[in-house]
Amino acid sequence: MGSGTDTQLTIILSPQAGGTVSSYPEGLSCVDDTCQGDFSPENVSVTATPSTDWAFAYWDDGTTNLYDNPLTVMMNGDKSLTAKFFRTFRNAVGDFRQSSGDGDECVIYVRNETDILYAACNGEAADCLDQAQSAGYSTGSAPMIGSIIVFNRASGALSSGHVGIVTGINGTEITMQDSNWVAYHTIGNHMVDVSGYSIAGYIYYTP
């Protein structure tokens, strides 16, 4: 421990596998997912470094998400932060490995193009959003080029849901590349007005 005037900085890695943190001046020591250090009342610069296939998203100070990296922390008292990391996958837009022919089931095609983990998208397509969240990927309700769109289950052709890769956005009109929509096991790139569908959400290749 430092002198009586020192203050303690605690940083939680969320998750631990996502990356590491360091400080300037040096002084952080990490055990498992918790890093701590004692600093005199001055500015401390903290840097988050993601692991391979992860990306740093933000710092959480308990009330606000902070996006600067490095981040300057004024140690005028004990401080606690969470360094939030998310898994990443390949942005296939502009570099599709297969753009025609037999793409198999939609889930298999999306996995083959993006290299997203099997655990993050398998079985019925409608389950991919929850699976991706559990696997550590960033998700949300807004489309992004390169993201994976996840359709909820609906009667008929979407009884298991559907997934595709977003290649264009124009309001509620989403252009996506996928398999098993335009025809059985057939790859296509087509526009869908998603206002007529129940969308579970989007899985982002980077936060």
pLDDT over threshold 70, residue 45: yes
pLDDT in tens, 101-115: 999 999 999 999 999
Q: Which residue has the tokens 């943190």?
A: 21
Question: Which of the two residues, 3 and 39, has the higher pLDDT score?
Answer: 39
pLDDT in tens, 150-196: 999 999 999 999 999 999 999 999 999 999 999 999 999 999 999 99
pLDDT in tens, 3-16: 457 999 999 999 99
CATH number at 200 reads 3.90.1720.10
- In terms of pTM, does the model score above 0.85? yes
Q: Indicate the number of domains in the chain.
A: 2
Looking at residue 4, what is its pLDDT? 55
CATH number at 36 reads 2.60.40
Distance set, CA 108 to CA 20, 41, 75, 99 (Å): 32, 54, 49, 14
pLDDT over threshold 50, residue 25: yes
Find the domain containing 67 and state its range. 7-86
Read off φ and ψ for residue 27, nearest 5 degrees: 155, -10
Q: Indicate whether 156 and 72 sit together in one domain.
A: no
Q: Indicate whether 138 and 176 sit together in one domain.
A: yes
SS3 assignment for 52-120: CCEEEEEEECCCCEECCCCEEEECCCCEEEEEEEEECCCCCCCCCCCCCCECCCHHHHHHHHHCCCHHH
Residue 81 lies in a domain: yes
Residue 166 lies in a domain: yes
Residue 93 lies in a domain: no
Q: Indicate whether 27 and 81 sit together in one domain.
A: yes
